[in-house]
Amino acid sequence: MTRIDEDSLTRTGLPPAGTGRTLLLACGALAREILDLIALNRWTHLDLHCLPAILHNSPERIPAAVEAAVAAHRGRYDDIFVVYADCGTGGLLSQKCKELGVEMLQGPHCYSFFEGNAVFAKHAEDEITTFYLTDFLVRQFDAFVIRPLGLDRHPQLRDTYFGHYEKLVYQAQTDDPALTDKARKAADRLGLAFERRFTGYGDLATALSALG
């Protein structure tokens, strides 16, 4: 079985790069989902290059990282599609993509496009006390939540960070009982009520299918 490095991954199709090929320049947190969609739909014209998922801890660095990757790969592809939403960049990523002449995924963040941007927007105001996890974040809960917040060293800070949250919503991309169990334990660890929503791939699948 091929190991997937979700922090930095390049997947190129078997045909040589050239006419008709599109590069998906994506967040490493989406690697598994994109590879699943490519395999499921036999999108052999799509190649994948992922930037480190840890950039989400410093979203101000995402536009420059995307710009550098576009410059490095542009000469080999007819099109490049940036598989990031705004992701905390405050519109800077969208502005950068316009400058570079490349399209990007729509939405404020992955929680929105996985559920579907229109659906998420309808209940967003009612869920301001909700903490969301995706499949990736369930797998990487310690690396992306616990350790960066220092909760492994100072567990007493839990209520400082999460005292105003009421529930944890696990947006499941796959039907995996083991991941659901891990998500439930994450909610318990944060002292939050638990809810699981099966979203599948949401608007991510719609956007990629539109690439021909």
Which pLDDT band holds residue 19 (cuts at 50, 70, 90)? low
**How confident is the model over 79-107, as a mean pLDDT?**
97
Map out the domains of the chain with their CATH numbers. Answer: 9-105 (3.40.50), 111-198 (no CATH)
Distance CA 55, CA 34 (A): 18
Helix (H, G, I), strand (E, B) or coil at 176: coil
Residue located via tokens 């994109």? 34
**How confident is the model over 47-66, as a mean pLDDT?**
96
What tokens does 34 get?
């994109």
What is the reported pTM? 0.89
Angle (nearest 5°) at CA 167 between 111 and 5: 40
Task: Say yes or no to pLDDT of 5 above 60.
Answer: no
Would you state the pLDDT for residue 2? 33
Burial class (CB in 10 A: 0-12, 13-18, 19+), 36: middle
